[in-house]
Amino acid sequence: MRRISHEWFFLIPITVFLGLFVFYPLTRVVLRSFTDNLTGHFTLQNYLNAFTQTRYLGSLKNTLWFAGACTLVGAVGGTFVGLLASRMSPKARGMLLSFYSLPMTLSSLVVAFAFIVLLGRNGVFNIILNRYLGLPKFDLYSWHGLVVTYSFYNIPLMTLTMASVFLNLDRSLIEAARNLGAKAWQVWIYVIIPVLAPGFIAGISIVLAGMLAAFGTALALTGMAKSLLSLQIYSHASESNYNIPQASALAVVLIVVIVGSLATLNWIERRLRPGGER
Q: Which residues bind another protein (CB under 8 A)?
A: 170, 172-173, 175-183, 186, 190-191, 194-195, 197, 272, 274-275
**Do 84 and 162 contact (CB within 8 A), yes or no?**
no
What type of residue sits at position 50?
Answer: A
The residue among 137 and 178 lying less far from another protein, judged by its C-beta, is 178
**Pairwise CA distance, residues 79 & 166, whole Å:** 9
| DSSP tag of 138 | P
Q: Which is nearer to another protein, 90 or 275 (CB)?
A: 275
Least Å distance between CB 188 and another protein? 13
User: Minimum Å distance from CB 267 to another protein?
Assistant: 16
**H or E element: which one contains 64?**
helix 54-86
Q: Where are any strands of DSSP class E within the chain?
A: none
Shortest Å, Cβ 200 to another protein: 13
Closest CA to 226 of 37, 50, 47, 67: 67
Nearer to another protein, 197 or 255 (CB): 197
**Min separation Cβ 119 and another protein, Å:** 42
On whether the CB atoms of residues 103 and 156 are closer than 8 A, the answer is yes
Complex with another protein: residue 188 or 215, whichever CB lies closer: 188
In the bound complex, what is the minimum distance in angstroms from residue 167's beta carbon to another protein?
16
Round to whole Å and give the CA distance between 125 and 112: 15
Using the Cα atoms of residue 161, residue 164, residue 170 and residue 173 in order, give the sign of their dihedral.
positive
DSSP category for residue 22: I
Which lies closer to another protein via its Cβ, residue 162 or residue 211?
Answer: 162
The Cα–Cα gap between 247 and 66 comes to 20
- Shortest distance (Å) from residue 199 CB to another protein: 12
Is the Cβ of residue 89 or residue 172 nearer to another protein in the bound state?
Answer: 172
